[in-house]
Structure 1
Amino acid sequence: MAVKIGIVGMNGIGNNHAACYKEDELAQLVGVCDVVKERADVAAEKFGVKAYYSLKDMIENEPDLQVVDVTTGGIDNGSWHYEPAMEAMSYGKHVLIEKPLAHDIHEGRELVAFAEKQKVYLGCNLNHYFTPPAEKAKQYIDSGDIGELVYCLAKMGFNGGEANYAPAGSPKIKGHPYFHMRAFLTHPFSVMRHFCGDITHIQTFSDRPGFRRSAGDVMVSINSIHVKFANGGVGYLLSQRGDAVYGLGGWWSLEMAGTKGTFTIENCVEKVSYWKAEKGIAPISVQPEPVVTDFGTNDFSRTFNNRLHAFLEDISNQVPFDQLRANGRDALAVLEYTYAVQESYERGGEVVRPHRLPPLHGNPLFMKN
C-alpha cells in the first residue's frame, strides 16, 4: 500500500521531491503546503493534489496523511526546518527533512529526541550515498575486501573559479560566514561516516580567497578538514564553494583505503574502482590494475529518487527506528561534525571533539531477550 505524503515548502527542492513521489509506486502525494500561496497553488495544479497554506490545515484535513516531507529552507538552508518538523511529529506523523537537519545544533538535538519520544520515523535527505557506486563500494567493505581502515580522502564541493564568481544576493546566504559549512558539509560528512563510521576528532583550516574578501563576502568558503575515526583510521575532507575547478574525480570523489584493498568513487554516480592489496606489490614503481565498475551515467538527480524510495521502503516495512536508513540520528551526527568544524576554525585550528550522540535505547518490539 502506498505511503500517503504531504510536502511543506514548495520551492525548488519541494517540487523535486514531489516529482520523485509521483513516479514512485510506494508513494501517494496527497497535499502540498507553502506559506507563499502562489507556490502552493502552482505545485498543487502541477501535481494534481490539494494546496494548503498552513501545515496544521494540511494535517487536519488529510486524516490519512502518514509522512510530512519538510523541504523548507531558510538561513544556511536549514533555519525553517525545526518548527514544521516538530509540529508534524506532535501529530504523530513521520517526518523526512531536507538537509541539513537544522540550522541550530540545539534544535537538531531536540528533533531527534522528540522523534524518539513520539515513536515516529525521522529521516533526512542524505542522498549522496544512495547510488550504485556507493552500493558497490559497501559490498567491498562488507565482504572484507577493504580490511581495517587506514585512511579516507573526500573531495566534494562546487566547480568554479574567480571568473565565475558573483556575490550572493539572497539573505539566507549573504552575511552568513558559515553558509557553506552548514548548508553543504552534511553531504561529504554523511558519506564518510557511511563508509568509515563515527568521527571522534576534527581539525580544520578554513579561509576564503582574495576575490571574496575584495567583494566584502564573509563566507568561509574553503574548508580543509582533518578527522580521526572511532575505529582508528584517519581522514581528510576538502570542500570549497566554487573557488576553483576540481581536478581528478570531478566535483565529488572519495577514496577509502584499508589493509586489504582500496576503492575510489568518481563523480558520485559515475564509477567505482577497486585495487586489491596483494603480496608482492611494488612499493612505488608499479600500480596494480584496478577493477573498474563504470555505471555509464553522470545523472546526479536520480539520487533523490533513490533516497526517497529507500525512506518509503523502510516505512512500509516498519523497520526498527534505529535501522531507518539516513535517520535523524545520522543527520545529527554530521551536524555535530559541522559545528565542530566551525568551532575548530574559530579556535585557530585546534582539535575539537564533536558532541557525543544520544545513546541508542533499542525498541522492545524488535529486540528479543
Structure 2
Amino acid sequence: MKKLTAALIGCGRIGTKKHIEAFAANSDLIDLVAVCDLVPEKAERAAEEYMKRQEISLVRGEKERIREKKDTQHGQEIDSSSPASECDLQRPVVISDYKDLLSTNIHFVTIATESGNHYKNTIDFLSAGKHVLVEKPMALSSEHMDEMIALSREKKLKLAVCVQNRFNPPVQELRKAIDSGKFGRVFTATARILWNRNEEYYKQASWRGTWAMDGGTIMNQCAHNIDLLQWMLGGEVQEIFAMTENYNHPYIETEDFGAAIVRFKNGSIGIIEGTANVYPKNLEETLSVFGEKGTVVLGGLAVNKIQTWRFEGEDSHPFMNLPDPETVYGSGHITAFEDFARAIIEDREPFVNGEEGKKSVEIILGIYKSAREGAPVRFG
C-alpha cells in the first residue's frame, strides 16, 4: 500500500510534541514531508524531533527484526527481512508560509496553529483539495464551522477534529457501557477540569487568553471534557445556563473560571466546572456519569483511567490501574492520526468528523452567550 503524504501546519507545543509523536508512530501509513511555522526555528525543532523519533523507532524495529530473524527452513536459519537503514529516513522540508504547500500533491495536513487561525487554514487547504485534520476547537464561531463542513462535503474531502481523548480505552469502555444499556437510563454527567495556568503560560504566546484568537478556560482547557460529556449524554442541547469570571488573571481578556448546566432534549443534564486557578498545580480532570443502574467516574492525568466502576455485581475494572501519560494531552493523538489516515485510504468518515467536532464548540459558545446575557440560552 502506498503511504499518504502529509504536512504539519503550526509547530508550537501541541504540534511539536503530540502531532510529531503521532506522525512518527504512524510512519507505516504516513510520510511527513513538510513542517510549517511562521517562526522557522520552531519548524526546524519540529523536523529535528521527528527525525529523533524516527531514529528511535528504527532502533526498536531493528531489535525486533533481530529477535524475529531466526525463521527456520529445513533446520537452517534464514533472514526473512532486509535490515532497516538510516537512509530510509527522510527529513521533512521546513516551510515558513503554508501557502507554499497549497499547490503541492500532499494528501492531507494537520493544523495545530492558533485557535483563531483554524478556520482560515482549513478553508485554504480544503479549497486546494487537501484533506484536513484540525486541532480543537475546529473554529471559534458557528458560521465558520458550518462553512468548513460544507466545503469539505462539496470537495468530497475528509475533515476531522482532533479530540483525542475519545480514543482513550477507558472512554471507549464507558461509551460501550452506555450504548449496551448497562446504565439503564442515563440521568446526569459532570465534567470537572480543575487546573492551573499561570502567567508564564500566557506569556509563552501573545494570542493566549484573547477572544479573537483563543477563548478562555472553557474554550481551551475544558474543550475535551465538554466533548466527552456531550458524547456520553447524547442527543441535542435544549438549554444552557452558565456563569464565568476572571478571578486571578488580570492580564488576559477571557475568563479563568466557568460553570454551566446543560439540559439535553433527551432529558439528561450535564454539569460543567472549569478553572485555571487551582493552587499550586493541576488537581483533576474527571468525567462522572450517573444512571439508574450504574456509576462511572473517569480520571487520571488525561481522563485515561477508571476511578469508579459500579454496576450490579461489578465494583472494579482492569482500567483502574492504567498508568498516566506524560502530559495532559494523553496518548490519543496516535490513534486519532491512524483513524484519519485509514478514513482517507478506505474512503469512510473519520471517527470525529466535522459535524461531531462542532457539537462541543456549540455548547461552549452557548456557555459564553449565557454568561454574557445572565440568562439561560435556549436552542431550537
TM (norm. structure 1) is: 0.81
Question: CA shift at 1:309, angstroms?
Answer: 2.1
Number of matched residues? 327
2:36 pairs with 33, 36, 41, which one?
Answer: 33
The reply to whether residue 256 of structure 1 matches residue 252 of structure 2 is no
Match in the other structure for 2:265 = 230
CA contact (8 A) 2:218 2:257 kept: no
For 1:119 and 1:316, the matched residues in 2 are separated by: 13
The reply to whether residue 51 of structure 1 matches residue 51 of structure 2 is no
For 2:48 and 2:225, the matched residues in 1 are separated by: 36
CA contact (8 A) 1:252 1:266 kept: yes
For 2:153 and 2:307, the matched residues in 1 are separated by: 36
For 1:227 and 1:60, the matched residues in 2 are separated by: 44
Cα distance change, pair 114–342 in 1 and its aligned pair in 2 (3 A): same
Equivalent position amino acid for 2:95 in 1: Y
Q: CA RMSD in A?
A: 2.5
For 1:32 and 1:246, the matched residues in 2 are separated by: 32
- Structure 1, 174-183 or 234-243: larger mean CA deviation: 174-183
Question: CA shift at 1:233, angstroms?
Answer: 0.8
SS of equivalent residue, structure 1 residue 181: coil
CA contact (8 A) 2:194 2:278 kept: no
For 1:15 and 1:229, the matched residues in 2 are separated by: 37
Question: Which digits, 9 at most, give the CA deviation of each residue in 1:296-332, with x for residues without a partner?
Answer: 211153122222222223333221x3xx211111121
2:148 pairs with 91, 111, 121, which one?
Answer: 111
The reply to whether residue 98 of structure 1 matches residue 135 of structure 2 is yes
CA contact (8 A) 1:261 1:276 kept: yes
Cα distance change, pair 196–11 in 1 and its aligned pair in 2 (3 A): same
Question: CA shift at 1:40, angstroms?
Answer: 2.7
Question: CA shift at 1:97, angstroms?
Answer: 0.5
For 2:40 and 2:255, the matched residues in 1 are separated by: 35
For 1:175 and 1:31, the matched residues in 2 are separated by: 29
Question: CA shift at 1:260, angstroms?
Answer: 2.2
Segments of structure 1 that go 5 or more residues without pairing to the other structure are 279-288, 357-369
For 1:246 and 1:15, the matched residues in 2 are separated by: 23
Cα distance change, pair 132–175 in 1 and its aligned pair in 2 (3 A): closer
Match in the other structure for 1:325 = 351
Question: CA shift at 1:43, angstroms?
Answer: 2.9
Question: Which digits, 9 at most, give the CA deviation of each residue in 1:98-144, with x for residues without a partner?
Answer: 11111333222211121111111111111122101111112211221
CA contact (8 A) 1:260 1:276 kept: yes
Equivalent position amino acid for 1:12 in 2: R
Alignment of 1:158-197 (within 5 A): 158-159=195-196, 168-169=202-203, 170-174=205-209, 176=211, 178-197=215-234
Equivalent position amino acid for 2:274 in 1: S
Question: Which digits, 9 at most, give the CA deviation of each residue in 1:40-82, with x for residues without a partner?
Answer: 3343354311122322322424x2x111111111xxxx11112
CA contact (8 A) 2:293 2:312 kept: yes
SS of equivalent residue, structure 1 residue 35: coil
Question: Which digits, 9 at most, give the CA deviation of each residue in 1:252-296, with x for residues without a partner?
Answer: 111111222221112211225322258xxxxxxxxxx72233242
Match in the other structure for 2:168 = 131
Question: Is the radius of gyration larger for structure 1 or structure 2?
Answer: 2
CA contact (8 A) 1:133 1:295 kept: no
CA contact (8 A) 2:20 2:49 kept: no
The reply to whether residue 290 of structure 1 matches residue 315 of structure 2 is yes
Segments of structure 2 that go 5 or more residues without pairing to the other structure are 51-90
